[in-house]
């Protein structure tokens, strides 16, 4: 069986700068892979290449063995790639419910319906509410997204991803900027997605305790290149991660 997701020699240059440098990596169903690396290592750019927001300078992206490098972000989303963004990326003037409902609508393949009423699709609304309940945001359903606190916006971002029901979940620092008491909601949620089984989960994360708790596998990006790949405990303890994060080579 081909891997759920694979990148082959994936590279992007901005001018002379190589942001992602020949990253070849396969991701398998049922595995949560944490992607770590210092700021500017190319983690988010790597995500953007996978989900189609950026086109690579070289290399390719394969979804279940199929080369999707030529497809744009919308088609990749329809093929089951779900992305939650690092910088909160919502529809600010629309209600919390409408934000999620739009994801459910896309997931249900309701694309060009001009004359039916959106409000009549209670099935879509119910599913959107279910996703909001999972992140405990159902009581804010009518609020415009722009008014939410930062932590609630992060939760909404995750609810949108849940509503897409993707095969591949891509979380980009889902707990960044969240208050301490909000973090467990998101971490429990990611664990519950993992427990469903069969999902391929990619997680960009800085916090090593989160990585240790959730990850089955860790890969390390440094200056755009894949420099380590393996078991979380090993990789986190490896000299290259210590150097990448602390900027110094630990004494041997």
**Beta carbon nearer to other proteins, 12 or 244:** 12
Task: Verify binding: residue 101, other proteins, rule CB under 8 A.
Answer: yes
Alpha carbons 240 and 252: distance in angstroms, whole number: 12
Written as six digits, the tokens of 144 are: 């415009």
Distance in Å, CB of 245 to other proteins, minimum:
29
Written as six digits, the tokens of 173 are: 């620092």
Stretch that binds other proteins, among 58-66, 117-125, 182-190, 226-234 (CB under 8 A): 117-125
Among 11, 51, 125, 200, binds other proteins (CB under 8 A): 51
Which string of b and e fits 3-40 if b means at least 16 CB within 10 Å? Answer: bbbbbbebbbeeeeebbbbebebebebebbbbbbbbee
**Beta carbon nearer to other proteins, 82 or 232:** 82
Classify residue 246 by burial, with Cβ atoms within 10 Å: 0-12, 13-18, 19+: exposed
Residues 145-174 that bind other proteins (CB under 8 A): 160, 164
Among 18, 26, 90, 130, binds other proteins (CB under 8 A): 90
The CA angle 25-29-32, to the nearest 5 degrees, is 70
Among 14, 40, 118, 184, binds other proteins (CB under 8 A): 118
Alpha carbons 179 and 183: distance in angstroms, whole number: 7
**Beta carbon nearer to other proteins, 90 or 176:** 90
The CA angle 185-189-192, to the nearest 5 degrees, is 140
Task: Verify binding: residue 199, other proteins, rule CB under 8 A.
Answer: no
The binding site for other proteins (CB under 8 A) comprises: 51, 53, 72-75, 77-78, 83, 85, 89-94, 98, 101-103, 105-107, 110-121, 124, 160, 164
């Amino acid at each position: 069986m081909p891997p759920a997701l694979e990148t082959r020699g994936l590279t992007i240059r901005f001018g002379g700068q190589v942001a992602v440098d020949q990253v070849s990596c396969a991701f398998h169903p049922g595995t949560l892979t944490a992607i770590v690396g210092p700021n500017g290592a190319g983690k988010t750019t790597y995500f953007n290449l996978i989900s189609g927001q950026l086109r690579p300078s070289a290399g390719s992206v394969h979804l279940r063995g199929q080369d999707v490098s030529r497809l744009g972000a919308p088609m990749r989303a329809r093929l089951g790639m779900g992305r939650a963004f690092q910088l909160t990326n919502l529809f600010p003037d629309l209600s919390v419910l409408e934000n999620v409902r739009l994801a459910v609508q896309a997931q249900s393949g309701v694309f060009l319906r001009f004359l039916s009423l959106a409000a009549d699709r209670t099935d879509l609304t119910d599913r959107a509410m279910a996703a909001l309940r999972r992140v405990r945001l159902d009581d804010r359903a009518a609020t415009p997204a722009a008014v939410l606190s930062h932590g609630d916006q992060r939760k909404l971002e995750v609810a949108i991803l849940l509503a897409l029901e993707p095969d591949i979940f891509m979380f980009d620092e889902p707990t960044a900027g969240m208050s301490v008491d909000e973090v467990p909601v998101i971490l429990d949620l990611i664990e519950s997605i993992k427990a469903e089984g069969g999902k391929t989960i990619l997680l960009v994360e800085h916090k090593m305790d989160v990585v240790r708790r959730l990850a089955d596998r860790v890969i390390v990006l440094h200056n755009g290149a894949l420099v380590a790949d393996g078991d979380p405990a090993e990789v986190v303890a490896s000299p290259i991660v210590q150097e990448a994060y602390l900027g110094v080579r630990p004494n041997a």
